[in-house]
Amino acid sequence: MGSKTPSIQQSIKNKNLQSNLDNELNVGLNRRQFLRRIGVGAGAAALATQSISHVLAASPIESNNSSQLTKDDLPALLDERSAQTSLITNCTTPTIETRLFASSNVGGSDERNQLALDRMACAGFKISNPDITNRQYLRFAGTDSQRASDFQNLATGAIAAPKLLLGVRGGYGAMRILPMIDWMTFGRIMKERGTILAGFSDVTAIQCALLAKGSMSSLAAPMLYSEFGKTAPDQISCRQFAQALTNPNLTITIQDASLTSQQLPTILTAGEPKVLTGTIWGGNLSVVSALAGSEYLPRIKGGIVFLEDVGEQAYRIERMLYDLYLAGMFKGQQAIVFGALSGSGEDSYDKRYDVATVVRQLHKLTGLPIYSGMRFGHIGKKHSFPLGATCQLTPNTVGGYQLAFTDYPTIKADAIHVEGLWQTV
């Protein structure tokens, strides 16, 4: 996405406007004032003068081939083509110290990255390293050393820890850099600063290592490219992201198991459901199972295991669950919570062998109560929540359950202008 070089007269005019803006309040800026105030690049200038449909018409988002797709992309493809956008009229001055990390796939579209950066700034997030979105080595968002440095530079003190560390996107690659990071020191610095690390999908590897070796929580949440760079980001996901960042007593209520399987009860237990309290941990099933037997998978006593995935057939889901079962990872746990297991399809040998059959087999193997339908995963309208935090799981009187979270860092709510996360700057 490009923009025309401004005329000398326009440059002088902009300079004078900038001088006048220095005396204005830091809130309630209109979108043109906001763009000039923070000095964003050509991408934002184009978006300020063009409709989003024109900008994206030439974007690779609309013409991705299968070799570019990852699990991040699967739920969003149809949304990209049917999305409706709205122009923003106000932004807040970005004050939330934020750094990006790109531990996995390279971003597929410069325009999409720029749009996401503009939205984040409009919403109040002051990103200090936007150029990270331009890195690439093979399929990855930089060399292993570059990607590891996103975390190790904070551990060594070379770069001050921000309030928010936000993942750019998932895909694959995070496991390659786990041995290159001092997780214990990194976790300690995050605790001292109250830093929130946010992401999901392949970022599960980072989150597991951080909890296992750094004893630090993180946030299961949407990411820069995969959510905030979409033509029209999901407003519920954006609002729930802000809610999880700012609410120190977050609660999520689940009433049905449909996101996991239509054929499952919300609570699968041998006895009467009970109130449980423990550390919730886990993430993407493919990544968690790949870490089985390594030092980077948490060993939580009395924990509550959370798992989600996308595009995996029932037999592959069962294989990964058996990986964890045979590795002893369900021993000593209090319960298993399943999020979305979307896009599993039908078994080619027998349609009766489905996700519900797999989950019931896991319940039989482990004897643990299983709670399904948690609204998180590779889906829209996801509810962000802390991993590695204390979670109280409470069954309700109508067959559902509530998750209540405590003991995790947050951000002041008035620093976030949540509408900026989905509107076009």
Give the distance from CA 320 to its chain's centroid.
Answer: 22
Residue indicated by tokens 């996308």 = 310
Q: What are phi and psi of 407, to 5 degrees?
A: 70, 60
Q: Catalytic residue among 227, 318, 372, 378, which? A: 378
Q: Is 201 a catalytic residue?
A: yes
DSSP code, position 159: S
Task: State the Cα–Cα distance between residues 28 and 148, nearest whole angstrom.
Answer: 38
Q: What are phi and psi of 343, to 5 degrees?
A: 70, 30
Count how many Cα atoms sit within 13 Å of the Cα of residue 241 in the half-sphere of its side chain: 30
Q: Residues 304, 334, 258, CA angle at the centre, nearest 5°?
A: 60
Q: Is 318 a catalytic residue?
A: no
pTM, two decimal places: 0.83
Task: State the Cα–Cα distance between residues 355 and 361, nearest whole angstrom.
Answer: 10
Residue indicated by tokens 């009766």 = 352
Q: Is 308 a catalytic residue?
A: yes
Per-residue pLDDT of the chain (425 residues; tens, 9 = 90+): 444 344 444 443 344 433 433 333 333 444 434 444 444 443 333 333 332 233 223 333 233 333 345 666 655 554 554 455 556 558 999 999 999 999 999 988 999 999 999 999 999 999 999 999 999 999 999 999 999 999 999 999 999 999 999 999 999 999 999 999 999 999 999 999 999 999 999 999 999 999 999 999 999 999 999 999 999 999 999 999 999 999 999 999 999 999 999 999 999 999 999 999 999 999 999 999 999 999 999 999 999 999 999 999 999 999 999 999 999 999 999 999 999 999 999 999 999 999 999 999 999 999 999 999 999 999 999 999 999 999 999 999 889 999 999 999 999 999 999 999 998 86
Question: By the 8 A CB rule, do 97 and 164 touch?
Answer: yes
Task: State the Cα–Cα distance between residues 243 and 352, nearest whole angstrom.
Answer: 39
Question: By the 8 A CB rule, do 93 and 124 touch?
Answer: yes
Q: Catalytic residue among 149, 201, 237, 342, which? A: 201
Task: State the Cα–Cα distance between residues 241 and 410, nearest whole angstrom.
Answer: 11
Question: 354-357: long-range contacts (C-beta < 8 A, 24 or more apart)?
Answer: 354/261, 354/263, 354/314, 355/260, 355/261, 355/263, 355/264, 355/314, 355/317, 356/261, 356/262, 356/263, 356/264, 357/314
Q: Catalytic residue among 104, 226, 261, 308, which? A: 308
